């Protein structure tokens, strides 16, 4: 959807769609594949990949990393060289996130009452102030399948709280500040792990690991602006590398392993996805009209897709997933493609129009004037 603060770029919505589909397929593998393999309650949480193609589904949670790199990219792309007015910026972020989150929580409360306390509504509002592992702390109510992905709102919103100050520091001292901050985040994770924190959980679930990906996205946006006119489509070839990287990650223990090397995994994912974004920002402009419109339509409802697809998966499992005569991995992929994805897009189309879009139209201008020299130096790459 068009913003009050920038011109619309369809390629951004294409990337959002891709990220949402990655996560959707990963959860379809985990839940539907687990049901087919082990029966009711079974989960294929982190199985060993046989091939790089398997790793794409098993480790599809990398779509969360893509979303976070893209968030940093979008905001830096919009605001670099300009002053961000803090209150209007945060108002827009609340209007973007909370109407749908509150609606989903309300539905979960109605369905699960009296298991869910109405006071947990206050817990949902407090999500941005959550810094420890979100799965089991008191102020993230677990209302499966409705709130399963609310944990990502914590690091996302925490980045929003920090973004204006980070951008101001970049304006004062240059993009090198981003590299210094990333190094500082890595050092902080090392110290926390030395004090007993689990490396994987710290890097995956919290802002202490995810901040690197937002910062890398910001750096990619600044680089994209400075590349004005250069051809970068070939950078999309990093997608050929990603299955092999995810395969190596899976074979090294995946998300269940707490090895200390996981402290650097957010940066590996972040750099790879930033490379992809830099390439696709140009490639996406050259797609045929019908393809770009279809992908943009899916990307427009990607936030609803992200938060609602686990509920659609739960509905498919309740009705009974189809086996197609295949083993669980293949059957879960076909269920995702033929049932979960269309169902999620249809439901998300409704929630976007009834819940998200009315509030998105209330967003305000949050960009003030900036340094003229800075704006000139960072002029946008032309849209071709």
Given a cut of 90, is residue 75 above it in pLDDT? yes
Cα–Cα–Cα angle for 272, 236, 27, nearest 5°?
60
The predicted pLDDT at position 134 comes to 41
E strand or H helix at 84: strand 83-84
pLDDT digits (tens, 9 = 90+) for 297-350: 999 999 999 999 999 999 999 998 888 888 998 999 999 999 999 999 999 999
The predicted pLDDT at position 6 comes to 66
Q: How many Å apart are CA 167 and CA 178, to the nearest integer?
A: 9
The string over 133-142, giving b where at least 16 C-beta atoms fall within 10 Å of a residue's C-beta and e elsewhere, is: bbeeeeebbe
pLDDT digits (tens, 9 = 90+) for 243-266: 999 999 999 999 989 999 999 999
pLDDT digits (tens, 9 = 90+) for 189-230: 999 999 999 999 999 999 999 999 999 999 999 999 988 767
Domain ranges of the chain: 14-364
| Residue 135's pLDDT band (cuts 50, 70, 90) | very low
The predicted pLDDT at position 3 comes to 65
Least confident of 92-96, 98-102, 227-231, 363-367: 227-231
159 vs 136, residue with greater confidence: 159
Q: How many Å apart are CA 358 and CA 99, to the nearest integer?
A: 10
Give the residue from 339, 306, 240 showing the smallest Cα distance to 32.
Answer: 339
Q: In the structure encoding, which two tokens stand for residue 164, read together?
A: 């204006």
| Residue 92's pLDDT band (cuts 50, 70, 90) | very high
| Residue 169's pLDDT band (cuts 50, 70, 90) | very high
Give the best-scoring range by mean pLDDT among 100-114, 165-179, 221-235. Answer: 165-179
The predicted pLDDT at position 1 comes to 57
Do 214 and 159 contact (CB within 8 A), yes or no? yes
Is the C-alpha dihedral spanning 357, 358, 360, 365 positive or negative? positive
Q: How many Å apart are CA 363 and CA 310, to the nearest integer?
A: 28
Q: How many Å apart are CA 57 and CA 45, to the nearest integer?
A: 11
E strand or H helix at 367: strand 367-368
Residue 45: count other Cβ atoms within 10 Å of its Cβ. Answer: 13
Do 210 and 159 contact (CB within 8 A), yes or no? yes
Given a cut of 60, is residue 58 above it in pLDDT? yes
């Amino acid at each position: 959807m068009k913003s009050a603060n920038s011109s619309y770029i369809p390629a951004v919505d294409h990337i959002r769609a891709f990220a949402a589909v990655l996560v959707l397929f990963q959860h379809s593998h985990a839940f539907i594949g687990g049901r087919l393999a082990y029966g009711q309650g079974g989960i294929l949480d982190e199985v060993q990949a046989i091939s790089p193609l398997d790793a794409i589904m098993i480790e599809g949670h990398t779509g969360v990393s893509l979303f976070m790199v893209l968030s940093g990219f979008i905001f830096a792309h919009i605001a670099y060289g300009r002053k961000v007015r803090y209150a209007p910026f945060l108002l827009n972020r609340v209007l973007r996130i909370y109407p749908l989150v509150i609606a989903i929580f309300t539905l979960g409360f109605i369905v699960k009452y009296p298991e869910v306390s109405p006071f947990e509504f206050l817990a949902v509002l407090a999500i941005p102030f959550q810094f420890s592992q979100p799965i089991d702390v008191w102020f993230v109510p677990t209302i499966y399948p409705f709130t399963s992905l609310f944990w990502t709102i914590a690091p996302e919103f925490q980045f929003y709280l920090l973004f204006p100050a980070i951008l101001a520091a970049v304006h004062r001292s240059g993009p090198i500040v981003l590299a210094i901050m990333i190094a500082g985040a890595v050092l902080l994770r090392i110290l926390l792990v030395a004090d007993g924190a689990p490396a994987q959980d710290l890097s995956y679930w919290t802002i202490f690991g995810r901040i690197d990906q937002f910062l890398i996205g910001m750096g990619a946006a600044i680089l994209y602006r400075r590349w004005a006119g250069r051809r970068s489509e070939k950078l999309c070839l990093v997608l050929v590398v990603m299955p092999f990287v995810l395969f190596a990650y899976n074979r090294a223990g995946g998300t269940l392993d707490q090895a200390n090397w996981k402290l650097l995994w957010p940066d590996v994912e972040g750099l790879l996805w930033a490379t992809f974004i830099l390439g696709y920002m140009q490639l996406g402009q050259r797609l045929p009209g019908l393809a770009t419109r279809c992908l943009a339509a899916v990307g427009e409802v990607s936030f609803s897709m992200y938060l609602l697809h686990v509920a659609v998966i739960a509905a498919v499992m309740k009705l009974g997933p189809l086996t197609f005569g295949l083993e669980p991995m293949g059957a879960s992929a076909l269920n995702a493609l033929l049932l979960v994805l269309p169902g999620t897009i249809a439901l998300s189309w409704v929630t976007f129009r009834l819940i998200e879009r009315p509030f998105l139209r209330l967003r305000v201008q949050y960009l003030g004037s900036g340094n003229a020299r800075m704006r000139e130096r960072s002029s946008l790459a032309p849209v071709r």
